[in-house]
Amino acid sequence: MIDCSKALPFLLVSLLISTLLGWLAFTQAVAGEVESSGFGAVAIPQPHKPDNASACVEPLDIMRREHMNLLLHQRDATVLDGERDGNYSLVGCMDCHNPAASAETVIRYPDPQHFCAGCHLYASVKIDCFECHADRGLAKIEQGRLADSNVAQPGSGLLSLQTFQMQLGDTGGD
Amino acid sequence: MATELDNIEIRPARRRFVQGAAALATTLIAPGILLYKTGQASSNGAAKTPRWGLLIDTNALSEADVDACVSACQREHGWHSEAGSATDAQWIRKLRLSDERSGQQQFLPMMCQHCADPPCVDVCPTGASFKRDDGIVLVNKHTCIGCRYCMMACPYKARSFIHETLYDQLPVAPRGKGTVESCTLCVHRIDRDGANAVPACAEAVNRGEHKAILFGDLNDPQSEISQRLKSHGATRIRADLGVDPGVRYQGL
Amino acid sequence: MRTIYSEIRTSSPQYWGLLAVFAVITALGIAAAHRMEVEGHHISGMSNQVVWGLPHVFAIFLIVAASGALNLASLASVFNKAEYKPLARFSAILSIALLIGGLAILLLDLGRPDRLIVAITHYNFKSIFAWNILLYSGFIVIVLAYLWLMMERRLEHWSRPVGMFAFAWRLILTSGTGSIFGFLVAREAYDSALLAPMFIVMSFAFGLAMFILLLLLSFRLDRRELDASHLQRLRKLLGLFCIGILYFVLLFHLTKLYGSQNHAYERFILLDGGVYTWLFWLFQIGLGSLLPLLLLYSARWQHSPRSLVLACLLIIQGAFAQLYVIIIGGQAFPLNLFPGYRVDSSFFDGVINTYSPSLWELLLGCGGLTSALLIALLVVRVLPILPQNLPGAQN
């Protein structure tokens, strides 16, 4: 028969590990905001509003609640069936929700100023869209190309993400 | 490029209609009758889905032309490949063929052959590697898990795995670390221009009357590509495998 | 006489020390996988030419051995060999542990391991890889059920049909693993239905070798008695499987040699492929097959347990050599797009591809292996898996 007392050390160890993992996740999640607003008090995001557009493709409340579904739905239609005439393409969003091509400012995705990043950091919802997709319109890509940007950046993991964000702070920040 | 996405021709709407009609027919009419109907429809060739393909005339391509194809593709999709790097992606590459006996040399561009029966699609565990109805073979990077089995299966070494984090990707070509990618036949241009589309590689080398890289609908017997194939014939690379590539070569 | 099973009760420093070493290597493996995910696969030795590397050698070894480790249980349940019955539970546990280790490596090596949910929810039923996902997960469930039926005396009569089912399932499973390569028609190194039965015989040998080593290890850790007659039986079985592998390797290469279109590939593996040729002749054939046969069958060493252990270790290193030659050697040989032409490009067409595994891959592979051993050693401590003693010929 199994001796229950033996289970205790296992239980303790797993508790310890899960606690550590929890802390790790938590500190990573807030890492972006800690500098600006202090631990625990996260500032309400002020995403960059489009410079020249009048209205979004849908009313604000629908966009706030449904943007992910709209994007997802059209994403599959575009990739699988080649339907590119919908209103809800990520390229469309990024064309508008970025500084105008004439403006000097360039905002890249992990920057809290980025239209998507601001709220997503605030809500702590991780998206991986911009690992592949352009985070700004074509004109802004040409304008704000990182040196050697199609070759991988040096550094790794969290560290490189943070240094990357700091670099961005210099070029496109507040 | 981004603004061009806004004014798209209504071609997809037609495809939607055809699909809707087909789905309706499937539910209403017995499958046997459906098979009979589509068999009939294919004989007049009018209402068929296209199958996009390329016809590459290697005699009309100099080494510099093939290089131009490669750099046009790089500009269009924003990929780069350091010389000698074993991990950088190459959507299209220049092959030099030297005859083992005569030493005669030829240059040709090699890329995804957009097979009718693509091995990469067969082996993909998640279905991320797929063939569109119009014959273009693509990777759905939203469902690609990066197992690289398609790269093992591809007879043409057409696919690349992204080994590094990328930045500043272009709007028309989303691409990122940990997934597999290959030539898309400039699908964003095809979705916009249909049969009149010109892929970036073709655009870079086509001068004057004779098109060294001819894009067109292999299913339409009236199309220029079908006509030229009919009159001059062409080679399928590794025809022995029976995968029926959509990219054909003349002058090999 | 009734077999009595019990947990191993050792608290020896050897046991805990071994567990600690395995745990550390497993942790290093996970860390290496994490680094490979954040950095990208460029820190591995894998490339667009050699797309599957050392992690896959480890993973395929573990998956193949997992299926073979079920041998002893099958012999008892399916072939009614009562003398193997006391070892059936351990056989089942080991096969589950090895399979988990192998699958963990495959998963962690993916370009997007975070999309595990996609792999589970999107199936392309034409993909042999997708079949394997079902075969592997099914195998774990079936063997768990089988183990439970063996351990629950009231339901023991069910263990035979379920054992048969498990036996059939794992034959299909290993055929599936072999066919991952066998179905690759475009590559000369693969494209052969022979790979499926070859992988089955490989699984018999590799699995049994792992089983013998771990059985001896856990018996020794807990100071249990193992009668020599058991080892003699296992020894003969192992020798038989070794001969089976040699037969299939011979058949495979003869088939390829017969058609002249594959001569270049055979020349590469058998004659001038450098590391692959060495691995094939010296480590796979010489040290991995012939020497173990000598150790297993020669009258001089026939009765020494040490020679058995050595033979098992040699067979396992031979297994790695064989899988390395199959998986990586097969990709190092270039695709032949234009027969009769010399081809070159910026994308390594027409040249022998190079591959040198990085530390990260090695750690990931070893981590998978040790995680399997860790699971096995932990389970025998908390569940009554191992027989108290294995007396000689009983009836």
Q: Backbone dihedral region of A83: left (phi > 0), alpha (psi from -120 to 50 degrees) or beta?
A: beta
Q: What is the 3-state secondary structure (H, E, C) of C60-103?
A: HHHHHHHHHHCHHHHHHHCCCCHHHHHHHHHHHHHHHHHHHHHH
CA distance C381 to chain A (A): 10
Q: What is the 3-state secondary structure (H, E, C) of A35-68?
A: HHHCCCCCCCCCCCCCCCCCCCCCCHHHHHHHHH
Q: What is the 3-state secondary structure (H, E, C) of A69-132?
A: HHHHHHHHHHHHHCCCCCCCCHHHHHHHCCCCCCCCCCCCCCCCCCHHHHHHHHHCCCCCHHHH
Q: Choose from C358, C382, C383, C385 for mutation: most chain A CBs within 10 A.
A: C382
Query: Chain A to chain C, count of Cβ pairs less than 8 Å apart?
Result: 15
Chain C residues near residue A156 by CB distance under 8 angstroms: 35, 38-39
Q: Choose from C338, C344, C349 for mutation: most chain B CBs within 10 A.
A: C338
Is any Cβ of chain B less than 8 angstroms from the Cβ of C382? no
Considering only CA atoms, which of C370, C46, C76, C27 is closest in space to residue C230?
A: C76
**Nearest-by-Cβ selection for C347 from B93, B161, B252:** B93
- Burial status of residue B116 (CB atoms within 10 A of its CB: 0-12, 13-18, 19 or more): middle
Considering only CA atoms, which of C296, C295, C287, C294 is closest in space to residue C315?
A: C287
Give dist(CA A17, CA A144) in Å, integer: 42
- Confidence (pLDDT) at A165: 41
Q: Do C40 and A158 touch (CB under 8 A)?
A: no
φ/ψ (deg, to 5) at B139:
-110, 125
Question: Average pLDDT over chain B, rounded to whole?
Answer: 86
- Confidence (pLDDT) at B12: 52
Per-residue confidence band for A71, with pLDDT thresholds at 50, 70 and 90: very high
Domain boundaries, chain B: 7-44, 52-250
**Nearest-by-Cβ selection for A157 from C7, C38, C114:** C38
- Confidence (pLDDT) at A162: 39
- Confidence (pLDDT) at A43: 75
Residue C138 lies in a domain: yes
- Confidence (pLDDT) at B6: 42
Choose the weakest-confidence range: A116-125, B203-212, C384-393: C384-393
Per the structure block, which two tokens stand in for A156?
């790794």
Give dist(CA B207, CA C357) in Å, integer: 47
Q: Choose from A20, A126, A156, A160 for mutation: most chain C CBs within 10 A.
A: A156
How much is the ipTM here? 0.92
**Cβ–Cβ under 8 Å, residues B205 and B64:** no
Residue type, C153: R
Q: Do B125 and C123 touch (CB under 8 A)?
A: yes
Give dist(CA B238, CA C339) in Å, integer: 9
**Tokens 């057409």 sit on residue:** B158
**Nearest-by-Cβ selection for B145 from C111, C183, C184:** C111
**Nearest-by-Cβ selection for B164 from A92, A108, A152:** A152
Considering only CA atoms, which of B112, B154, B146, B151 is closest in space to residue B128?
A: B146
Residue type, C264: A
Residue C365 lies in a domain: yes
Reported pTM: 0.86
CA distance C253 to chain A (A): 42
- Kindly tell me if the per-residue pLDDT of A52 is higher than 70: no
Chain A residues near residue C39 by CB distance under 8 angstroms: 156-157
Q: Do B93 and C345 touch (CB under 8 A)?
A: yes
Residues 6+ apart with CB under 8 A from C99: C62, C63, C66, C67, C136, C139, C140
Q: Do B147 and C110 touch (CB under 8 A)?
A: yes
Is any Cβ of chain A less than 8 angstroms from the Cβ of B179? yes
Is any Cβ of chain C less than 8 angstroms from the Cβ of B105? no
CA C340, chain centre distance (Å): 39
**Cβ–Cβ under 8 Å, residues B217 and B50:** yes
Q: Tally the residues of chain B.
A: 252
Residue type, C58: F
CA distance A156 to chain C (A): 6
Chain B residues near residue A133 by CB distance under 8 angstroms: 169, 171, 174
Residue C395 lies in a domain: no
Considering only CA atoms, which of C234, C231, C232 is closest in space to residue C220?
A: C231
Q: Do C39 and A156 touch (CB under 8 A)?
A: yes
Per-residue confidence band for A159, with pLDDT thresholds at 50, 70 and 90: very low
Interfacial C residues in 173-212 facing B (CB < 8 Å): 180, 183-187
Torsion from C-alpha of C97, C119, B179, A119, nearest 10 degrees? -110
pLDDT in tens, B8-64: 444 555 555 556 655 555 544 544 444 444 444 444 444 579 999 999 999 999 999
What does DSSP say about strands B137-139 and B180-181: parallel, antiparallel, or unpaired?
A: unpaired
Give dist(CA B126, CA C144) in Å, integer: 27
Residues 6+ apart with CB under 8 A from C158: C149
Q: Do B168 and A151 touch (CB under 8 A)?
A: no
Is any Cβ of chain C less than 8 angstroms from the Cβ of B164? yes
**Cβ–Cβ under 8 Å, residues B51 and B218:** yes
- 3-state secondary structure at position C191: coil
Chain A residues near residue B130 by CB distance under 8 angstroms: 80
- Confidence (pLDDT) at C225: 84
Cross-strand partners of B95: B108, C345
**DSSP character string of chain B:** -TGGGTS--SHHHHHHHHHHHHHHHHHHS-HHHHHHHHHHHHHH-SSPPP-EEEEEEGGG--HHHHHHHHHHHHHHHT----TT-SSS--SEEEEEEEETTT--EEEEEEE----SS-HHHHH-SSS-EEE-TTS-EEE-TTT-----HHHHH-TT---EE--S---S--TT----TTSEE----SHHHHHHHGGG---HHHHHH--SSS-SEEEEETT-TTSHHHHHHHHH--BPTTGGG----SEEEE--
- 3-state secondary structure at position C274: coil
Is any Cβ of chain A less than 8 angstroms from the Cβ of C187? no
- 3-state secondary structure at position C342: strand
**Nearest-by-Cβ selection for C118 from B121, B145, B238:** B145
Of residues A6 and A150, which shows the higher confidence score? A6
Cross-strand partners of B108: B95
Of residues C17 and A29, which shows the higher confidence score? C17
- 3-state secondary structure at position C226: strand
Q: In chain B, pLDDT over 70 holds for what percent of residues?
A: 81
Of residues B177 and A21, which shows the higher confidence score? B177
**Nearest-by-Cβ selection for B119 from C123, C186, C354:** C186
Considering only CA atoms, which of C301, A82, C42 is closest in space to residue B87?
A: C42
In chain C, which residue's Cα lies nearest the Cα of A153?
A: C39
Q: In chain B, pLDDT over 90 holds for what percent of residues?
A: 75
Chain B residues near residue A84 by CB distance under 8 angstroms: 5, 8, 12, 188, 191-192
Residues 6+ apart with CB under 8 A from C357: C44, C45, C53, C54
Q: Choose from A57, A76, A84 for mutation: most chain B CBs within 10 A.
A: A84
DSSP state of C267: H
Give dist(CA A55, CA A60) in Å, integer: 9
Spell out the per-residue pLDDT of chain C, length 395, in tens. 678 899 998 888 999 999 999 999 999 999 999 999 999 999 999 999 999 999 999 999 999 999 999 989 999 998 988 889 999 999 999 999 999 999 999 999 999 999 999 988 999 999 999 999 999 999 999 999 999 999 988 888 888 999 999 999 999 999 999 999 999 999 999 999 999 999 999 999 999 999 999 999 999 999 888 888 888 999 999 999 999 999 999 999 999 999 888 999 999 999 999 999 999 999 999 999 999 999 999 988 888 889 999 999 999 999 999 999 999 999 999 999 998 899 999 999 999 999 999 999 999 999 999 999 999 999 999 999 999 877 654 43
Instruction: Read off the CATH number of the domain in which C380 is found.
Output: 1.20.1630
Q: Do A145 and B168 touch (CB under 8 A)?
A: yes
CA distance C360 to chain B (A): 14
Per the structure block, which two tokens stand in for C167?
């036996």
Q: B52-250 domain in CATH 3.40.1260.10?
A: no
Q: Tally the residues of chain C.
A: 395
Is any Cβ of chain C less than 8 angstroms from the Cβ of B104? no
**Nearest-by-Cβ selection for A152 from C7, C42, C382:** C42
Chain A residues near residue C40 by CB distance under 8 angstroms: 152
In chain A, which residue's Cα lies nearest the Cα of B76?
A: A138
Q: Please give the residue range of the domain that contains residue C143.
A: 5-222+356-387
- Residues of chain A whose beta carbon is less than 8 angstroms from a beta carbon of chain B are 75, 79-85, 89, 91-92, 94-95, 108, 131-134, 137-139, 141, 144-146, 149-153
Q: Choose from B15, B49, B138, B169 for mutation: most chain A CBs within 10 A.
A: B169
**Cβ–Cβ under 8 Å, residues C296 and C238:** yes
Interfacial C residues in 91-110 facing B (CB < 8 Å): 110
Q: Do A85 and B80 touch (CB under 8 A)?
A: no
CA distance A129 to chain C (A): 14
Per the structure block, which two tokens stand in for A150?
């199609």
- Burial status of residue A143 (CB atoms within 10 A of its CB: 0-12, 13-18, 19 or more): middle
Q: Do B127 and C41 touch (CB under 8 A)?
A: no
- State how many domains chain C has: 1
CA C38, chain centre distance (Å): 29
Q: C-alpha distances in angstroms, B193 versus A86, A102, B50, C6, C369?
A: 16, 29, 13, 73, 54
Interfacial B residues in 185-214 facing A (CB < 8 Å): 187-188, 190-192
Residue type, C57: V
Q: Do A150 and B167 touch (CB under 8 A)?
A: yes
Q: C-alpha distances in angstroms, C153 versus A132, C149, C158?
A: 56, 7, 10
CA A163, chain centre distance (Å): 16
Q: Do A81 and B176 touch (CB under 8 A)?
A: no
Give dist(CA C214, CA A86) in Å, integer: 61
